[in-house]
Structure 1
Amino acid sequence: MSGSRQPVANIPASAGLTGAAVAIGIALLAAAIVLIQLGLTLPAKLLLSATAVAAVLVHWRLPASSARSPDVEQIDPLTGLTNRRYFHDVGQAMIENVQRRQRGIALMLVDIDRFRAIAGSLGHEAGDLLLRHVAKTIRDEAPSEAIVARFESDCFGCLIPFDPRGRDRIERLAERLAVRLGQPVKLVDQELTPRAAIALTRIDDGAATVDRLVRQADLALIAAKARSDGKPLWFAPAMEEAMAERNAIITDLRAALANGDIQPRFEAQVDLGTARLTGFEVSGYWDHPSLGPMTAERFMPVAEACGLSGEVSLSLMRQAMAAARDWDPSITLSIPLAASQFQDAWLAQKVIKTLTECGFPAHRLEIEITENALFANLALAQSIVISLKNQGIALALDAFGRGYSSLAHLRALPFDRVRIDPNFIRNMAADPDCCAIVTAIVHLGDSLHLPIAAKGVRDLDIEMRLRDIGCSHGQGSLYGPPLDLAQVRQMLAEKRLLAGISPSSFTIPRLAG
Structure 2
Amino acid sequence: MATTPISFEAPEEAVPEAGRRGEHDVVGLGIIIAAVLLFVANGSSVLHDFVRSLMTGVRPQDPMLGTALILNIALLLFGWRRYVDLTREVGQRRVAEEMAHKLAHTDPLTGCLNRRSIGPALQEMICTARATGHEVVAMMMDLDNFKRSNDAHGHQAGDAVLLQTAQRIRALLPDRSIMARLGGDEFAFAAIYDPDHVEAIDRLMMRLNDSVARPLEIDGLVLEVTASIGLANTVPSDTGDAAALAELLLHRADLAMYQAKKAGRNRYFWFEQNMESELRFRSELERGIREGIPRGEFVPYYEKQVDLDTGKLTGFEMLARWKSPRHGLLSPELFIPIAEEIGLISELSESLIRQALRDARDWDPRLTLSVNISPLQLRDPWFAQKLLKLLVEANFPPHRLDIEITETCLHENIGVVRTLITSLKNQGIRISLDDFGTGYSSLAQLRTLPFDQIKIDRFFVSTLGKSKDSGTIIEAISSLGKGMDLPITAEGIESPEVLDELGKYGSFKGQGYLYGQPEDAESVRAMLANSNLLPRAPVAPAAEPVELPRSATA
Q: TM-score range by the shorter chain?
A: 0.7 to 0.9
Given the alignment, which residue of 212, 215, 220 partners 1:184? 215
Partner of 1:366: 402
Q: 1:326 aligns to what SS in structure 2?
A: coil
State the partner residue of 1:30.
Answer: none
Taking a change above 3 Å as real, the CA distance of residues 438 and 75 of structure 1, as seen in their structure-2 partners, is farther
1:345 deviation in Å? Answer: 1.0
- Amino-acid identity (%): 38
1:451–1:383 CA distance, 2 compared to 1 (3 A): same
What is the identity, as a one-letter code, of the residue corresponding to 1:474? G
Determine the structure 2 residue equivalent to 1:51: none
**Deviations, residues 65-115 of structure 1 (Å, cap 9, x unaligned):** xxx998332221111122122111111221233244443433332222232
Match of 1:425 among 461, 470, 474: 461
CA contact (8 A) 1:12 1:147 kept: no
In structure 2, what is the equivalent of residue 495 of structure 1? 531
Q: Distance in 2 between matches of 1:163 and 1:428?
A: 52
CA RMSD in angstroms, aligned pairs only: 3.0
Q: Does 1:357 align with 2:393?
A: yes
Q: Which residue of 1 aligns with 2:505?
A: 469
Aligned to 1:141: 172
Tell me the residue number matched to 1:114: 145
For residues 172 and 446 of structure 1, what CA distance do their matches in structure 2 show?
51
Matched AA of 1:271: D
What is the alpha-carbon distance in structure 2 between the residues aligned to residue 391 and residue 288 of structure 1? 36
SS in structure 2 of the partner of residue 242 of structure 1 = helix
Give 1:15 deviation, angstroms.
4.2
Are residues 1:240 and 2:276 paired?
yes
Instruction: Give the corresponding residue for 2:419.
Output: 383
Q: Which moved more, 1:192-201 or 1:77-86?
A: 192-201
Output aligned runs, 1:302-381, within 5 Å. Answer: 302-374=338-410, 376-381=412-417
Higher gyration radius (CA): 2
Aligned to 2:301: 265
Structure 1 stretch displaced more, 467-476 or 73-82: 467-476
- Which of these residues, 493, 502, 518, is aligned with residue 482 of structure 1? 518
Work out whether 1:83 is the aligned partner of 2:114.
yes
Could you tell me which amino acid in structure 2 is paired with residue 348 of structure 1?
Answer: A
Contact residue 112 and residue 155 of structure 1 kept, 8 A: yes
Structure 2 length normalisation: TM-score?
0.73
- Range with bigger deviation, 294-303 or 177-186: 177-186
Q: CA offsets, 1:125-146, max 9 Å, x none? A: 1111111121112122223343
Query: How many Å separate the matches in 2 of 1:467 and 1:230?
Result: 40
* Alignment match, 2:250: 214
Q: After superposing the two structures, state which structure 1 stretch, 348-357 or 157-166, moved more.
A: 157-166
Contact 1:457 1:477 in 2 (8 A): yes
Shift of residue 481, structure 1, vs aligned partner: 0.8
Q: Which runs of 5+ in 2 are unaligned?
A: 9-97, 240-244, 540-554
Alignment equivalent of 1:103, drawn from 123, 134, 153: 134
The residue that corresponds to 2:33 in the other structure is none
Q: Which amino acid aligns with 1:114?
A: N
Task: Select between 401-410 and 360-369 the one with higher mean Cα deviation.
Answer: 401-410
TM-score (norm: length of structure 1): 0.78
Mark the CA change 1:422 to 1:179 in structure 2 (over 3 Å): closer, same or farther: farther
SS at match of 1:385: helix
Higher mean alpha-carbon deviation, 442-451 vs 89-98, is at: 442-451
293-302 or 352-361: bigger deviation: 293-302
> Does residue 71 in structure 1 map to residue 107 in structure 2?
no
CA distance in 1: counterparts of 2:305 and 2:440, whole angstroms? 27
Given that 1:270 and 1:279 are in contact with CA atoms closer than 8 Å, whether structure 2 keeps it comes out as yes
Count the aligned residue pairs.
Answer: 443
- Paired residues of 1:99 and 1:206 also in contact (CA < 8 A): no
Per the TM alignment, residue 407 of structure 1 is displaced from its structure 2 partner at its CA by 5.5
2:328 aligns to what?
292
Q: Hey, what does 1:61 align to over in structure 2?
A: none
Native 8 Å contact 2:322 2:330 kept in 1: yes
Q: Deviations over 1:439-463 (max 9, x none)?
A: 4444444444333323222212222
User: Which amino acid is the alignment partner of residue 290 of structure 1?
Assistant: R
Give the counterpart letter for 2:192 in structure 1.
Answer: P
Deviates more, 1:329-338 or 1:469-478: 469-478
Question: Counterparts of 1:405 and 1:340 in 2: how far apart (Å)?
Answer: 18
Cα distance, 1:185 vs structure 2: 2.0
Distance in 1 between the 2:207 and 2:428 partners? Answer: 49
- Compute the displacement of 1:255 (Å): 3.1
- Supply the distance in 2 between the matched residues of 1:99 and 1:407 (Cα, whole angstroms): 62
